Amino acid sequence: MKVTVVGAGAVGASCAEYIAIKDFASEVTLIDIKEGFAEGKAMDLMQCASLNGFDTKITGVTNNYAATAGSDVAVITSGIPRKPGMTREELIGINAGIVKSVSENLIKHSPNVIIIVVSNPMDTMAYLAHKATGLPKNRIIGMGGALDSARFKFRLAEALGCPASDVDGMVIGGHSDTGMVPLIGKAVRNSVKVSEFLSEERMQEVVEATKVGGATLTKLLGTSAWYAPGAAVSAMVQAIALDSKKMFPCSALLEGEYGLNDISIGVPCIIGKNGIEKIVEIELSEAELAKIQESAVGVKATNALLD
Ligand SMILES: NC(=O)c1ccc[n+]([C@@H]2O[C@H](COP(=O)([O-])OP(=O)(O)OC[C@H]3O[C@@H](n4cnc5c(N)ncnc54)[C@H](O)[C@@H]3O)[C@@H](O)[C@H]2O)c1
Ligand SMILES: O=C(O)C[C@H](O)C(=O)O
């Protein structure tokens, strides 16, 4: 499998590193507009091959899409990250133009590619990639929910005083500080609902900490996070490569699911060799359904800025 990662910055390089370490792809091409940057990152990563024991070939190019030809999967991380105090939505002015031109360039050289959109504001950028490319809806996947769910599990494990491997939980809705919907009522520790262990107040703290997970890290780091975002993308690329039919919450183009239309927003999806193989409609409580619909209003307001 050939994977292109557009943007060799913090998240792009982290994606390439995790994909290589897991050793399921034959080739990763990093591409960036900054002269020599992707070449440098690729060389540095390739010098890890003998140390970390992978055979994936990582190459880097400066803005030459011919080198991305024949990609099975392309990950779009190009664009600016937010600074402390900003929202993801504030990035739209610069990132929309970048994501549009990158998506168009990718499909010129890789007509069968599956695109994973990471650049923020991610749900709107995934929607824009659909509009710019006209690709079938299974082939454009927004990454946000996999990361948000990992952060939810981290916060749950912290509250429960247990390892993250003991807990399961999912975050749906928009990938934004206010729009995320951590499904706390469905979260479990070894199949026992977390409400059996945590007070209502503690569960609400977990929900709130999850929703501002990206903002918390941005404040600490001075820019947004990259390790968990890279790991989340690599897990999704792996599910495509291995056709594993794993379920991730992903930003998918909806046509009536959850009562929503003409929007890309986080919902549970089965990921396999065709990208989004199925959008799963889980039963939501009235409160959960109201939250995802409210979240959709926010995403649509950001989408409207594209016009
Ligand atoms: N969806 C998520 O869960 C998630 C998680 C983390 C970061 N992000 C987003 O990912 C994006 C990248 O974040 P980062 O921390 O890697 O930023 P970064 O600044 O470290 O890297 C971005 C890279 O994109 C490159 N770039 C800019 N325009 C380009 C173009 N037209 N073609 C190719 N490359 C181009 C830049 O030169 C830079 O190297 C941001 O928008 C950030 O908000 C999303
Ligand atoms: O928080 C951000 O701006 C980056 C990303 O969306 C994240 O959740 O880490």
Co-location of 132 and 183 in the same domain = no
Residue 103 labelled as part of a binding site: no
Q: Strand 171-173 to strand 167-168: parallel, antiparallel, or no bridges (unpaired)?
A: unpaired
Residue carrying the six token digits 């824009």: 128
Are 199 and 162 within one domain? Answer: yes
Q: Is 151 in the pocket of ligand 1 (CB under 6 A)?
A: no
The complex's ipTM? 0.99
Residue 196 CB burial class (10 angstroms; 0-12, 13-18, ≥19) = exposed
Shared-domain flag, residues 208 and 151:
yes
Distances (CA, A) of 226 to 43, 158, 217: 19, 21, 10
103 CB less than 6 Å from ligand 1? Answer: no
Contact (Cβ atoms closer than 8 angstroms) between residue 37 and residue 70 = no
> Are 170 and 105 part of one and the same domain?
no
CA of 47 to the centre of ligand 2 (A): 29
Q: Decide: 91 in ligand 1 pocket, CB within 6 A.
A: yes
CA gap 35, 63 in Å, rounded? 8
Task: Point out the ligand nearest to the CA of residue 4.
Answer: 1
- Can you give the residue range of the structural domain that contains 224? 145-306
Tokens of 302: 């950001």
| Closest among 174, 170, 197, 155 to 254, alpha carbons compared | 174
Quote the CA–CA distance of 132 and 113 in Å, as a whole number. 14
Say how many Å lie between the CA of residue 11 and the centre of ligand 1. 7
Of the residues 110, 144, 178, the one at which a domain ends: 144
CATH code (residue 19): 3.40.50.720
Decide which of 144, 177, 211 is a domain's last residue.
144
Residues 155 and 289 in one domain: yes
* Residues identified as active-site: 175
Residue 184: which CATH number? 3.90.110.10
Q: Which ligand 1 atom is the nearest neighbour of the CA of 148?
A: 3
SS3 190: coil
153 with 279, same domain? yes
Indicate if 288 and 247 belong to the same structural domain. yes
Determine whether 281 is exposed, middle or buried from the number of CB atoms within 10 Å of its CB (0-12, 13-18, 19+).
exposed
Q: Are residues 61 and 158 in the same domain?
A: no
- Total structural domains within the chain: 2
pLDDT for position 43: 98
* Beta bridge pairs of residue 227: none
Residue of 44, 77, 143 to mutate, ligand 1, most atoms within 8 A of C-beta: 77
How many other CB atoms are found less than 10 A from the CB of residue 222? 10
pLDDT at 307: 77
Q: Is 118 known to sit in a ligand binding site?
A: yes
Q: Which of 129, 144, 159 is the last residue of a domain?
A: 144
Tens-binned pLDDT, residue by residue, of the chain (307 aa): 999 999 999 999 999 999 999 999 999 999 999 999 999 999 999 999 999 999 999 999 999 999 999 999 999 999 999 999 999 999 999 999 999 999 999 999 999 999 999 999 999 999 999 999 999 999 999 999 999 999 999 999 999 999 999 999 999 999 999 999 999 999 999 999 999 999 999 999 999 999 999 999 999 999 999 999 999 999 999 999 999 999 999 999 999 999 999 999 999 999 999 999 999 999 999 999 999 999 999 999 999 999 7
150/109 same-domain check? no
Residues 187 and 135 in one domain: no
